[in-house]
Amino acid sequence: MQLKIIFIISFIFLLILLIIFFLPLKQKTVYVKGGAVRVEIADNSFSQFKGLSFRDELCPDCGMLFVYDKMAPRTFTMRGMKFPLDFIWIQDSEIVQIDKMIKPAGEDQKTPLIKGARSNYVLEVIGGYCDRYNIKAGDRVKIE
């Protein structure tokens, strides 16, 4: 009887995790230098852990905005990534650091860690986006 209860509780827990993992994320628009980026919002530990991992592609003007309650240094990994990314580190509404064309690790390599500036937002866009639109530190960002 106890084993059956443990199995049911484990099954329900796994089902909840799967639902959270596959639920569509909230979407907003972020404006950088007059350009609009359609972003999915990663504002909880589940969506932040998943990030853009395991996707085959990302549209040229799409991204993911990681939202944090507190300003702090952030570290990201390219775990499960299939394409390069530009990382845009944002303090309130100002870009403070950009890391361009961060490539996913190959099968033989360790997953790279990307260490960024103190920020309360991190915007991930397709690799090359910042060069294409001449985005640099000091530029202002508006989050819809």
Domain boundaries, the chain: 25-143
Q: For position 109, what pLDDT does the model report?
A: 58
Task: Give, in order, the Cα–Cα distances in Å from 9 to each of 45, 63, 66, 125.
Answer: 22, 36, 31, 39
In 3D space, the residue among 28, 25, 56 whose CA is nearest the CA of residue 42 turns out to be 25
Q: For position 61, what pLDDT does the model report?
A: 95
Query: Dihedral sign, CA of 59, 60, 62, 65?
Result: positive
The reported pTM is: 0.81
Work out the pLDDT band at 19, boundaries 50, 70, 90.
Answer: low
Identify any residues that bridge with 143 across adjacent strands, giving them in sequence order. Answer: 30
Contact in structure between 96 and 140 (CB atoms under 8 Å): no
What angle (nearest 5°) sits at the alpha carbon of residue 56, between those of residues 35 and 61? Answer: 5
Polymer length of the chain = 144
Contact in structure between 141 and 94 (CB atoms under 8 Å): yes
Token pair for residue 5? 């209860």
Token pair for residue 18? 């799967």
Question: For 131, phi and psi rounded to 5 degrees?
Answer: -70, -40
> 25-143 maps to which CATH number?
2.60.120.1140
Residue with tokens 């932040």: 48
Contact in structure between 92 and 120 (CB atoms under 8 Å): yes
Work out the pLDDT band at 107, boundaries 50, 70, 90.
Answer: low
What does the pLDDT average to over 36-41? 95
- Count CB neighbours of 15 within 10 A: 10
